[in-house]
Structure 1
Amino acid sequence: MKWSEATWQESQAIYSAIINLPFIQEMTAGTLEVTKFQFYLKQDALYLTYFGSVLAAIAAKLADPKHALAYLGYAEQAIVVERVLHESFFKQYAIADYGEMQPSCHHYCHYLRAVVGFESVEVAAAATLPCFWIYGEVGRYIKDRVQQPNNPYQAWVDTYAAADFNTSVTEAIAICDALAENASEATREQMTKAFLRAAYFEYDFWLAAQTQVSWTPL
C-alpha cells in the first residue's frame, strides 16, 4: 500500500467530520448564511498568501527538478490565480478588505511555516497535502450533491471540483508518495503525523467559519 493510501485511510474520521460540518452541508444546500461565507473567504485569502510562501520554500528544498517545478507552480497558483479568484468573490459577496487573521487561520498558517522551517522536506510536503486533497474531495462531494439549481456558492464548488485542480491534487499525491518511498520509516511516520495534523486544521478552519471564531478579550 502506498503511503498516501494508508494515510488517507487514517484520516477518514477527520474527513467525515469535515463533510458533515454544518458549513459544508449548508453550502451544499445553498442555505449557508452569506456572513459565514464572507468570513471564510477573508480568512482563506489570508491563508493563501502564507500557503504560497510555504510551497515555494518546499520547492527550494526538493532535490528532483520536476518536483521542484511542480511546487513552484502550486505556489504561483496559490498566490496569483486563486488571489484573482478571491478578488472576484470579494466583489460578488461585497467584501471590502481582508481584515485580520483570526485564530484558526493563524494557527494553521504558523503550523505550516514551522514545519517547513524545522522539519524535513518530506514532512513539509505531507503537511501541505491536505489543502490539496481535502479541498478536491470536498469540491466533488458538494458538486455531486448540490440541492439547489442556482446555488449561490456554485462558483466556489466548480473551482475545487474542476479537472485542472484535481490534476494538481493527483500530482501532489504522487510527489509525496515518491518522497515517502525513499524515506526512512521514521520519516514516513512523521509525514503521516503532519498530514493528520494539517487535516485537522482543515476541519478547524471550516468550523471556525461556521461559528465565526475571532480574537476576543477574555
Structure 2
Amino acid sequence: MSGVWTQKIWQQAAPIIDQIVQQPFNQELMEGTLPQEKFIHYIEQDALYLKEYGRALANIIPKLQNTEQTSTFLGFLKDTIIVENVLHQQYLSKTDGQTQLKATPTCVLYTQFLLAQTSMNHAAIGMAAILPCFWIYKHVGDYILANYQKNNHPYFEWIQTYSGEEYGQAVKVAIHLADQLAQNQSSFVQKQMDEAFMMATKMEYLFWDSAYQLATWPI
C-alpha cells in the first residue's frame, strides 16, 4: 500500500503507532467497555478538529503540481469529510445538544500545527502533516475490527467507518499522493516531511489520551 517515502516514515513512526493502539482509550473501545462519557468527549473534539482539518486540507490544493493531483485530492477530500461528518452526527445526535463545544488544549495545538504546516510550507510537507490522521485511524480501525467483541458492540459504527472499504480507499489515495509529492524533493524538504509526519503522529497519541482523560482547560 505504501511507496518509498511512506514505507520509510511508517517504520520510523511504528513505536508511537504501537503505543496508540495500546492506549487505554483504544483498548477499551475495542472491548466495548469505554465509558460513553469519554467516547462522546472524543467525538465532540473530533468534530471540532475536523472543521479545522478541512481548512488544512484546502490549504494544500493550490500548491499541487498538476490537474490530476488536484482532481484526486479533491475527490479524496470530499469523500473523507462526508464519511466522518456522518459518523459524528450519528453519535452527537444521541446527546442533548445543549453543550457549547470548546476545543481542548490538545485539539487547539494539533489543528494549529496542521494549519501552519499546510499554509506556510511546500505541498509535500503539508501532505506529510495531514497523513497520520488518515493512515493511523485506518490502522487502529483494522486492529479493532480484527479483535473486537462482535455482539451488540456500542461503538460498532465507529469501527465500521474506519475499517471500511470506502475509508480505506481514501487512505490509499492519500498515501500514493504523499509518495508522489516526496519524489525528487531535496533532502532538506524530505527531512521536513519526516518531522511533520512524526509530530502529527505524536499529536494523534495526545488526542486520544486527552479524550480518555476528559481533558478541559484548567482555567
Q: What TM-score comes out, normalization by structure 2 length? A: 0.94
Is 1:53 the equivalent of 2:51?
no
* Counterpart-to-counterpart distance in 2, 1:93 and 1:30: 19
Task: Specify the alignment match of 1:211 in structure 2.
Answer: 213
Task: Specify the alignment match of 1:187 in structure 2.
Answer: 189
Q: 1:153 aligns with which of 137, 152, 155?
A: 155
1:13-162 equivalences in 2 (<5 Å): 13-97=15-99, 99-162=101-164
* Counterpart-to-counterpart distance in 2, 1:189 and 1:159: 33
* Counterpart-to-counterpart distance in 2, 1:126 and 1:104: 19
* Counterpart-to-counterpart distance in 2, 1:7 and 1:117: 22
* Counterpart-to-counterpart distance in 1, 2:34 and 2:60: 35
* Counterpart-to-counterpart distance in 2, 1:199 and 1:36: 21
String of CA shifts for 1:125-178, please: whole Å, max 9, x gaps: 010000110000010000000025111001001000001111111111111111
Q: Is the 8 A contact 1:127 1:195 kept in 2?
A: yes
C-alpha change, 1:175 and 1:119, in structure 2 (3 Å) is: same
| The 10-residue stretch of structure 1 (89-98 or 120-129) with the greater mean CA deviation from structure 2 | 89-98
* Counterpart-to-counterpart distance in 2, 1:168 and 1:32: 27
Distance apart, 1:84 and its partner CA: 3.0
| The 10-residue stretch of structure 1 (51-60 or 106-115) with the greater mean CA deviation from structure 2 | 51-60
Q: Give the gaps of 5 or more residues in structure 1.
A: none
State the one-letter code of the partner of 2:75. Answer: G
Higher relative contact order (CA 8 A, sep 6+): 2
C-alpha change, 1:34 and 1:95, in structure 2 (3 Å) is: farther
Q: Is the 8 A contact 2:83 2:167 kept in 1?
A: no
String of CA shifts for 1:17-72, please: whole Å, max 9, x gaps: 10010000000000000000010000000011111111111112101212212222
C-alpha change, 1:24 and 1:98, in structure 2 (3 Å) is: farther
- Provide the secondary structure at the position in 2 that maps to 1:216: coil
Q: What TM-score comes out, normalization by structure 1 length? A: 0.94
Task: Specify the alignment match of 1:176 in structure 2.
Answer: 178
Q: Give the gaps of 5 or more residues in structure 2.
A: none
C-alpha change, 1:210 and 1:189, in structure 2 (3 Å) is: same
C-alpha change, 1:77 and 1:101, in structure 2 (3 Å) is: farther
Q: Is the 8 A contact 2:117 2:129 kept in 1?
A: yes
C-alpha change, 1:166 and 1:98, in structure 2 (3 Å) is: farther
